[in-house]
Amino acid sequence: MTPLITQNLPTPLRLADFKLAAFDMDSTLINIECIDEIAAAAGRKAEVAAITEAAMRGEITDFKDSLRRRLALLKGVPVAALEKVLSEKLRFNPGARELCAALKAAGLKLLLVSGGFTWFTRHVAAELGMDFVRSNELEIVDGALTGHLVMQPWGEICDGEEKRRMMLQCATEIGAQPAQCIAVGDGANDLPMMGAAGLSVAYHAKPKVRAQAMVAIDEGGLDRLLGLFT
């Protein structure tokens, strides 16, 4: 297995110097892009996946617009399709449970911050022991998706800037500085929070993200990160 790619790492890298770890969900902690799998139930996976891929690569710079375009294609999808994705498709990526358990054991708080949906983040957060969660709420009427999101107290769409803001807000709540935050992601939507964190980690990420991260895990599981700490 190839070594981790590292650049501009603080030295020494000690887990005790960090207080918060923020994680993207889709394709980072879990093996799928949930919105693409929902789209499969509507027979529109190719259309939606193409937009998802372009947004993750950073080719579509307006995440909110890209999400609204994809959601519109999901209008009428039954709730049963969401249940099927959760039970049959969603799996944790290698090392996700181990990394989160080790971070919690070391006293860090965990944040799940996703441009995905609460239908799935609730499950993932409960399984991994997340302390904070932020994600989008699908609007469901008469047992089917409307193609829209529900407005929440903080706003409607969790985009890259909201991920960054939430990470910094949680850090403030626990008395941590940005330098004491770890941010882990794979797509362009994760770059704002990764850029604000003391340690940024790209997991099987798009080239643009890999190039800007301090640590890139291109092979193996998320728990490989633990090997960098003294």
Positions marked active-site? 24, 26
Classify residue 25 by burial, with Cβ atoms within 10 Å: 0-12, 13-18, 19+.
buried
109, 170 contact by CB (below 8 A): yes
Rounded-to-integer distance, Cα 140 and Cα 48, Å: 19
Per DSSP, the three-state class of 119 is: helix
Tracing tokens 């399709």 back to the chain, one arrives at 81
**Cα angle 57-203-28, degrees, rounded to a multiple of 5:** 85
Q: Which long-range contacts (CB under 8 A, 24 or more apart) does 70-74 make?
A: 70/35, 70/39, 71/35, 71/145, 71/147, 71/148, 71/149, 72/147, 73/39, 73/42, 73/44, 73/47, 73/48, 73/147, 74/35, 74/38, 74/39, 74/42, 74/44, 74/48, 74/145, 74/147
Q: Which two tokens stand for residue 222?
A: 């998320």
53, 33 contact by CB (below 8 A): no
